[in-house]
Amino acid sequence: MKDDPARRRAAARALLLPLVFLTVALLGGMRVAVDRSFVFLPPPLVTLVMAALLSSLFMRGRLVRLDTWLGSRHGVLTNISHALTLIALFFASAQAFNSVLPEQGLLHWMFAFFFLWTLWNDQFSAFDPFRLLRSLGVLFGTAFVLKHMVLGALAAPGGSWTQRIASAIFQGLSLGTLDIPAVAPATGYISFFTLALYVMDLRPLLREARLLTPGERRALLKELEED
Is pLDDT at 150 greater than 50 in this prediction? yes
- CA 31 – CA 39 distance, rounded (Å): 5
Residue 212 has pLDDT above 90, yes or no: no
Contact 144, 195 (CB under 8 A): yes
- How large is the average pLDDT for residues 144-148? 87
pLDDT band at 175 (very low <50, low <70, confident <90, very high): very low
- Is 216's pLDDT higher than 80? no
Summarised one tens digit per residue, pLDDT across range 131-140 is: 888 888 889 9
Phi, psi dihedral angles at 30 (to 5 degrees) = -85, 130
Q: Which of 151-160, 177-186, 198-207, 216-225 has the lowest mean pLDDT?
A: 216-225
Residue type, 147: K
The domain locations on the chain are 5-206
Q: Look at the chain and count its residues.
A: 227
Checking if the pLDDT of 6 tops 90, the result is no
DSSP reduced 3-state for 38: strand
**Beta strand spans in 117-189 (E):** none
Q: Residue 221's pLDDT band (boundaries 50, 70, 90)? A: very low
pLDDT value, residue 10:
61
Instruction: Tell me the β-bridge partners of 32.
Output: 38
pTM: 0.77
User: Cα separation of 182 and 133, whole Å?
Assistant: 31
**Mean pLDDT over each residue of the chain, to the nearest integer:** 77
Between 161 and 98, the more confident residue is 98
- In our burial notation (b when 16+ CB lie closer than 10 A, e otherwise), range 90-100 reads bbbbbbbbbbb
Report pLDDT digits (tens) over 14-62.
677 888 899 999 999 898 887 888 888 899 999 999 999 999 888 887 7
Helix (H, G, I), strand (E, B), or coil: what is residue 61? coil
**Distance in angstroms (rounded) separating the CA atoms of residues 187 and 155:** 13
